[in-house]
Amino acid sequence: MHTQKIHGYHISLVQISEKSDHTTEPLFDLDPSGCHRKTLSLTVEKDGCTRTCFFVVPCCTNVEACMLPTETGLFFLFDWVLCLVNLETMTIEHVTLNPTGTMFTPYPYQQDFILYGEVEIFRVRSDLSLVWSFSGWDIFVRPSGNEPAIVLKPDRICLYDFSDHSYELDYDGNLLSTSLLSVPTQSILGGI
């Protein structure tokens, strides 16, 4: 369960087994693939009034880290589905798809969002339009698994991939530096 207070609303997002057919709350099916899906319940409470809606989303959605506030509502990163929800009306204002791979976590940056994905990093505006994208040599996952593959610093984004390459980008998507973190000490061909 993920709970936040945003714009005076108490908001909770939780994965459920499925929506009951006996409820009248809206159901938004945001997974066009139709397989390996999750059902999420979004409950919003303000001034004693509680409203709920449901989302059917791709199975790789990270429920604990998929929701960020916007000026009028919520931004959701449901794996490769980006979605804006208006809290006043509990309706979807905009949806766009990013079919380049699994997306892990959104981060706020000014009025925009930095999206951390398996094979690409994106910056999108609050209207979900693309500002830039970047991909590296390999997937953005550290081989040790203990260190983060993305670190957001005040002036740059540091990325690390599975092949032990590091990348530094500015927030405009410009590559500032790249390097190989470790050099193999022995050839797999036995010195040939």
Tokens 């960020």, located at residue: 68
Whether 109 and 95 have beta carbons less than 8 Å apart is answered as: no
The answer to whether residue 151 scores a pLDDT higher than 90 is: yes
Domain extent for 176: 99-192
What is the dihedral angle through the alpha carbons of 180, 181, 185, 191, rounded to the nearest 10 degrees? -10
Judge if 75 and 138 occupy the same domain: no
User: What is the count of structural domains for the chain?
Assistant: 2
Judge if 16 and 45 occupy the same domain: yes
Chain centroid, CA 56 distance in Å: 16
pLDDT-derived band at 143 (thresholds 50, 70, 90) equals confident
The answer to whether residue 187 scores a pLDDT higher than 50 is: no
* Predicted TM-score (pTM) above 0.75: yes
Average pLDDT, the chain: 87
